[in-house]
Amino acid sequence: MRARLEAIYAAIPDRARRVADVGYDQGLLIDALLLRRPGVRVVGVERQDAAAQAYRERHEAELATWGARLALRTGDGLTAILPGEVDVAVIAGIGARSVARMLRAAPGVLAHLDVIVLCCPRFNGELMPAVADAGLVPLATRLVRDRDHVYEVTTAAPTHPHRAPADELARYYGAPLLDGADPLALPYLEDVRRTFAPAFATGLASYGPLSTQPDLGRKLALLDDAIARARAAASAGPRAHAAPA
């Protein structure tokens, strides 16, 4: 697997026993779970009708052995899973707006999770606010470089009672990214600043409250504060990253 999927796989706690992979596509993460973690059962969810058949055809030989450890479903996001059916859910490679919708649509599933692992394809303003609004607290964000792109792999968990982010920076970026002293965090955020330099040059005009991406606008408006906070964390020295609880 490429570095991004390896990092997503590594974010699934060793204690996980029933894992849902939402949007499994070719099923590379499912393969890794079934092959490398013999005690794990997997529920794969795909909205593409053809995905399950294609997966079964590719794995005809292994399916006899894997048997009841694998269930493949056609469905929409987390709604294809029953509350309490899995202890870990993974949603990776799907845009933040869709992921936010999935989190809103399945509060009962989220409430019963041990952790959820999230990795969106792009820097965005919608994922972390949606995580907070769903009553989840980010535990760790690992940055992973894969070819020419850096991905955020975030592990979050439900909290009872709900704990809101401490401040707006934490709401938009997630405290673990800012305070975790990941050596990649500062260069990553500085790179975001360079990428969006043309937008900053126009005062973020295309990302205003009435735009299609107001959350990204607000997040970008906070970027210099986020960089300052990540710089302070980096100069305070490496801290233990919050391990998945």
Which residues bind to ligand SAM, rule: CB under 6 A? 5, 22-25, 45-48, 76-77, 92-94, 98
Give the type of residue at 26: Q
Contact 191, 212 (CB under 8 A): no
How many Å apart are CA 121 and CA 152, to the nearest integer?
Answer: 9
Q: Name the minimum Å distance from CB 6 to ligand SAM.
A: 11
Q: Name the minimum Å distance from CB 78 to ligand SAM.
A: 8
Residue 46 or 182: the one with the smaller Cβ distance to ligand SAM is 46
- ∠ CA(66), CA(69), CA(72), 5° rounding? 100
Residue 6 or 76: the one with the smaller Cβ distance to ligand SAM is 76
Q: Name the minimum Å distance from CB 119 to ligand SAM.
A: 7
How many Å apart are CA 100 and CA 152, to the nearest integer?
Answer: 16
Copy the structure tokens of residue 87: 């202890």
Residue 92 or 96: the one with the smaller Cβ distance to ligand SAM is 92
- Within a 13 Å sphere around the CA of 5, how many CA atoms are in the beta-carbon half? 14
Residue 27 or 138: the one with the smaller Cβ distance to ligand SAM is 27
Q: Name the minimum Å distance from CB 98 to ligand SAM.
A: 5
